[in-house]
């Protein structure tokens, strides 16, 4: 049985993962409209990943005799300026999500829920990889320079093909 506080904070996280998925979907669509095929593919895949994270939480709560609450859809922004600025936003969002995951782990410890604490370890590791992946993309963008976006777009495509940069 899940402690009430843990059930509540996991349900808050379901909403955040759902929003992450919508946010990356919106970014993917924005990038696709601008002709960035590699960037949009990366973001479409990332949106799927986030949905998978949400489902993982839904199933876990229900398995532990809690009640997962499926949230309504919050509308994400539709315009992201330029590609570099957009990836800065992805990194800031992932840092925010990492903070939420840490908060859940603290709640588990305070509530002596070591089962959920161990379940959350997967998310802790995932966040380290995701943040590192987005940082690698920003480094590449800086190296290539903002005038070489075509190259960058091709490059991010091959990063995906190799299963790198947060795509796991």
Residues that bind ligand OFO (CB under 6 A): 17, 20, 50, 53, 94, 97, 123, 126, 130
Shortest Cβ distance from residue 35 to ligand OFO (Å)?
A: 25
Shortest Cβ distance from residue 153 to ligand OFO (Å)?
A: 22
Shortest Cβ distance from residue 54 to ligand OFO (Å)?
A: 8
Extract the tokens encoding 92: 């800031």
Rounded CA gap, 134 and 87, in Å?
A: 7
Q: Which is nearer to ligand OFO, 7 or 126 (CB)?
A: 126
Extract the tokens encoding 23: 């946010």
Q: Which is nearer to ligand OFO, 51 or 144 (CB)?
A: 51
Q: Which residue is nearest to ligand OFO (CB)?
A: 53
Q: Which is nearer to ligand OFO, 93 or 149 (CB)?
A: 93
Rounded CA gap, 27 and 2, in Å?
A: 35
Burial bucket for residue 63 (CB in 10 Å: 0-12, 13-18, 19+) = exposed
Q: Which is nearer to ligand OFO, 50 or 113 (CB)?
A: 50
Shortest Cβ distance from residue 110 to ligand OFO (Å)?
A: 21
Rounded CA gap, 151 and 140, in Å?
A: 10
Rounded CA gap, 151 and 58, in Å?
A: 39
């Amino acid at each position: 049985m899940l402690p009430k506080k843990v059930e509540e904070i996991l349900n808050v996280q379901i909403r955040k993962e759902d929003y992450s998925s919508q946010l990356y979907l919106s970014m993917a669509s924005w990038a696709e409209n601008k002709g960035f095929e590699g960037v949009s593919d990366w973001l479409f895949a990332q949106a799927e990943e986030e949905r998978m994270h949400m489902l993982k939480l839904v199933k876990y709560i229900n398995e532990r005799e809690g009640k997962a609450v499926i949230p309504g859809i919050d509308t994400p922004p539709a315009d992201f300026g330029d590609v570099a600025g957009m990836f800065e936003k992805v990194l800031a969002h992932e840092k925010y999500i990492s903070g939420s995951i840490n908060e859940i782990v603290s709640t588990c410890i305070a509530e002596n829920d070591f089962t959920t604490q161990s379940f959350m370890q997967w998310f802790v590791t995932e966040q380290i990889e995701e943040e590192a992946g987005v940082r690698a993309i920003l480094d590449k963008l800086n190296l290539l320079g903002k005038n070489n976006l075509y190259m960058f777009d091709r490059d991010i495509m091959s990063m995906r093909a190799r299963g790198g940069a947060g795509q796991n």
